[in-house]
Chains A and B, each alone.
Chain A
């Protein structure tokens, strides 16, 4: 009788693992105002990037962090980077020009919305961070903290074009091909 219980529990375990694996292939579906995000960034891009005087330094280090990422790490990475921008980057930049303020406000509020949506994503397991993803994110944080705060914020804002095109490619592939 004990032996007949064992295959059943083995079957259940296999089924559970298979479901978990299948679940991880699904990505959180989030609505994203690509039109507004791109329009806002294009409006402030030149002004922000002109203020960035450190040409040979990168914060995002995209080739190390974003471009070699596995699909299952995309959600975690997106959530972390957007949270980083909302918590640190936008706050560390002071802006007096109302036109730039509006553009940055759109981006900050949009990032906040996407980050919250990813956190509330039903299949929470899909957005857990594996070690590799966490390490890559720490590269970005490390690069940021090595620079002086204001200069780091300007550089991180200037590199938003790289981040935005990566996010759009992952979450709105149709929009990326337009």
Chain B
């Protein structure tokens, strides 16, 4: 009796293990993807796992997630990941899935044709408040006397806490400013001429109530009111102008003096006589029109010439 039962059980067990294998096309055992983990830096979360390799085949993966709500209030519903319902690489950017500051679980299965592996889950649940926050990359510059700061765009979760001060031997009063978003130039302070200012910053992520460490302090000096180079250039230019301008001035002044005390009278061209004095007016007897008496100015040399001619 007992033997009969035992043998019946054995037969049933054998059937149960062998029948499923008869229905599978391939005798390939598809293992669940191992070593699931989430790496998170600056609120960007990447799920990775070790690949499942089947020689000659491309294995795809499917990712699902659940938050604390699904785990405790809905008898473990799983939701398909936003971007990774069928991917061929063993990693998935799950930033768009982790949308609340609660503990999330992920599960991944391998797919080969119509065959799926069992699900792998995370060993440790992931909460985004464990993300690694790095100190921000910052660029400080000056626009005239304005101290300008710029941060890279890190997304909507990030604000920047900026601390800055004017370097002075006595005391350094620290000033603070919250920059609400990166990717744009922000005016910090109008600097005093010649003073040096220093700036440092950290990121603040309010949704997880955490902030990064401060970055390296960077300092910048405001321009002097009358920079030395400008003074030198201006004075050199002035000296050159002086050297060129002085002779001109002297010449002009001497001309002025000459005109004012010993002016030279110069006859304008319109009154000069170019022809001989005799031919100026031809007054022939045949002409009806009588000639008027004309008073003519004679130069001394012309007078002398006319005497000579008359004498000859």
Contacts and interface: CB of A to CB of B under 8 A. Distances in A.
A86 B71 CA distance: 12
Interface in A104-162: 105-106, 108-110, 112-113
Given A33-B100, A35-B156, A40-B99, A108 B80 contact: no
Contacts of B70: 105, 108-109
A33 B207 contact: yes
- Pick the 9 closest A-B CB pairs, nearest first: A109-B100, A109-B67, A106-B99, A108-B69, A33-B207, A110-B100, A109-B69, A98-B80, A35-B156
Nearest to A36: B99
Contact of B208 (A31, A86, A90, A91): A31
5 contacts: A90-B74, A98-B80, A105-B67, A110-B99, A112-B69
Contact of A33 (B69, B82, B97, B99): B99
Contacts of A32: 207
B213 interface: no
Interface in B193-251: 206-209
A64 interface: no
Contacts of A110: 99-100
Interface residues of B, number: 21
Most buried by A among B69, B77, B79, B80: B69
A36 B74 contact: no
Contacts of B133: none
Chain B contact residues, majority secondary structure = loop
Contacts, number: 63
Contacts of A105: 67, 69-70, 79, 99
B99 A86 contact: no
Given A31-B207, A33-B207, A90 B101 contact: no
Contacts of A109: 67-70, 99-100, 102
Contact of A98 (B67, B79, B157, B206): B79
B69 A90 contact: yes
Interface of B: 67-70, 73-74, 77, 79-80, 82, 97, 99-102, 156-157, 206-209
Contacts of B157: 35
Contacts of A40: 99
Contacts of B207: 31-33, 36
A145 to B, nearest CB: 19
A71 to B, nearest CB: 23
Contacts of B97: 102
B73 A86 contact: yes
Given A87-B73, A109-B67, 20 more contacts: A31-B208, A31-B209, A32-B207, A35-B156, A35-B157, A86-B73, A90-B69, A90-B73, A98-B79, A102-B99, A105-B67, A105-B69, A108-B70, A109-B69, A109-B70, A109-B102, A110-B100, A112-B67, A112-B68, A113-B101
Contacts of A33: 99-101, 207
Contact of B100 (A90, A98, A113): A113
Nearest to A103: B99
B73 A91 contact: yes
Interface in A23-78: 31-33, 35-36, 40
Nearest to B80: A98
B312 to A, nearest CB: 117
A77 to B, nearest CB: 21
A101 interface: yes
B46 to A, nearest CB: 18
Given A31-B209, A33-B207, A91-B74, A106 B100 contact: yes
A110 B99 CA distance: 8
Nearest to B85: A98
B69 A86 contact: yes
B86 to A, nearest CB: 13
Nearest to A98: B80
A102 B82 contact: yes
A140 to B, nearest CB: 19
Most buried by B among A31, A90, A105: A105
